[in-house]
Amino acid sequence: MLETRATPARVGILLNPGSGRVRRRLPALRRIAAALPEALLQEVSGPREIEQALRLWQAGPQDLLVILGGDGTLQATLTALLQEPAGDLPGLLVVPGGTTNMSAADLGARRKPEAALRALGAWLQGAGPAPRLVERAVLRVDGETDLGPQFGMFFGAGAILGGVRYFHRHIRPSGVRGALGPALAFGRMLLSLLGNRPHPLLPAMPARLSTPGADWQDDWLLVLASTLDRLLVGCRPYWGAEPAPVHFTAVAHRPRRLLRVLPALLCGRGAAVAREHDGYLSRNLDTLQLSGPEDFLLDGELFQAREPIRLSSTPPLRFLTF
């Protein structure tokens, strides 16, 4: 695997021209990327093109793959790399170029796309510091049999899907740009939650949740699982203490004491106030099976569940960021 102190043998760049930040900066990003020493730039707009680009390049463990897009581009790239791994993976440099960049932010990305590419160029030429390195497991989601296992950083079912659909139907068409749009959708869902009454954004999701040591059957408001530490707008809605890579939280439909619990839950202090008998679960897990949901969200992308969903994780991968 690539060490951050040593420059890579080869550099490949996957640039999604349709990603939110990339689209608004496309000419400048193309120009900067083309000037990087011996870098192979490939523009990709979806999973099929990403698969083809990676197959063409055949990256090895001493190479560097730059992923310039949003959460969905990263998810499609991880899936293409991990569905049929051909040995050790290249280093993965994540550049936040999408409308939502939740994964990149949690992995440590702080610079805008142009600045990140310039920092990469400086490092490659020995004139700048190496990128930061973080090791993080990746979720594996089995249950979408048509497409095979999917890989990503954040899984959601239940009301989370309603929030995403609200964003696409009501906020995105209004022309709101950048991270403000998802934040507004998140805020709208929170307002609905605070009422703790039946609402179209908050349907009940009958499901059975199973782990090797426990089983829960209920109508759920939401189920989420992630290997990220912090999610949208910096919230940390889990409080499990077990030494396992997957953070899991489930909230029953119309839970008790929601007004008191919700602020603490969002800030990572759920252990102090959230109780299982009131409808709040949180664990760190190795595996989880969900029976009942008909669809799910993975890094902002919607998928249909053809069979019971099984969540697990990969060994830690090495991500790099500027």
Backbone angles phi, psi at 180, to 5 degrees: -60, -40
17-70 pLDDT, tens digit each: 999 899 999 999 999 999 998 899 999 999 999 999 999 888 888 899 999 999
Backbone angles phi, psi at 234, to 5 degrees: 80, 10
User: Does 180 score more than 80 pLDDT?
Assistant: no
Cα distance between residue 18 and residue 43, in whole Å: 10
Q: In the prediction, which pLDDT does 59 show?
A: 85
| pTM greater than 0.75 (yes/no) | yes
Q: In the prediction, which pLDDT does 146 show?
A: 84
**Stretch 83-101: mean pLDDT:** 89
Q: In the prediction, which pLDDT does 210 show?
A: 97
* Domains in the chain, CATH or no CATH each: 11-136 (3.40.50.10330), 154-298 (2.60.200.40)
Let me know: does 152 contact 141? Beta carbons within 8 Å: yes
Q: In the prediction, which pLDDT does 163 show?
A: 64
Q: Estimate to the nearest angstrom the gap between the alpha carbon of 116 and the chain centroid.
A: 20
Cα distance between residue 70 and residue 102, in whole Å: 8
Let me know: does 258 contact 194? Beta carbons within 8 Å: yes
Q: In the prediction, which pLDDT does 1 show?
A: 47
Q: In the prediction, which pLDDT does 259 show?
A: 84
If 0-12 CB within 10 Å is exposed, 13-18 middle and 19+ buried, where does residue 182 land?
A: buried
Measured CA to CA in angstroms, residue 314 lies from 6, 132, 276, 305 at distances of 25, 21, 28, 21
In the chain, % of residues over pLDDT 70: 86
Beta strands 64-69 and 91-96, pairing class? parallel
55-73 pLDDT, tens digit each: 988 888 889 999 999 999 9
Looking at per-residue pLDDT, the higher value among 66 and 200 belongs to 66
